[in-house]
């Protein structure tokens, strides 16, 4: 099997997994922001800052304005929540909502 076919098959498997958990309605940047924030959370309820998210390797090529648009959309969908009693730009990842139907904006 050639290398490009292997890459294609991996991408197709990833797309199917994203569909299975309901992330296929998100843009690529929104998915990357959500996955980066989730990977930075050690346990449910952990607080993640926008600086931590911005520094994640998945988001290196993403412009700051695009990153914050994605965060706003994820907040609107409820996949991210503003962390209580913290300064702004701190979030809690709601991974428990993945797999259900996302609300329409």
Check pLDDT > 60 for residue 78: yes
First to last CA, the chain: 42
pLDDT one-digit tens code per residue, 86-97: 777 899 998 877
What's this model's pTM, rounded to 2 decimal places? 0.82
CA pair distance 35, 41, nearest whole angstrom: 10
The full set of domain ranges for the chain reads 26-97
> What fold, for 26-97?
Arc Repressor Mutant, subunit A (1.10.10)
pLDDT of 30-77, one tens digit each? 999 999 999 998 888 889 999 999 999 999 999 999 999 999 999 999
What pLDDT score does 105 carry?
A: 43
């Amino acid at each position: 099997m050639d290398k490009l076919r292997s890459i294609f098959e991996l991408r197709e498997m990833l797309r199917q997994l994203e569909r299975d958990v309901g992330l296929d309605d998100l843009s690529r940047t929104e998915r990357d922001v959500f996955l980066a924030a989730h990977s930075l959370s050690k346990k449910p309820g952990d607080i993640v800052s926008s600086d931590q998210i911005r520094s994640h390797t998945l988001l290196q090529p993403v412009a700051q304005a695009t990153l914050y648009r994605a965060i706003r959309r994820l907040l609107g969908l409820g996949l991210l929540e503003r962390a209580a009693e913290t300064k702004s730009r701190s979030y809690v990842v709601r991974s428990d909502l993945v797999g259900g139907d996302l609300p329409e904006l």
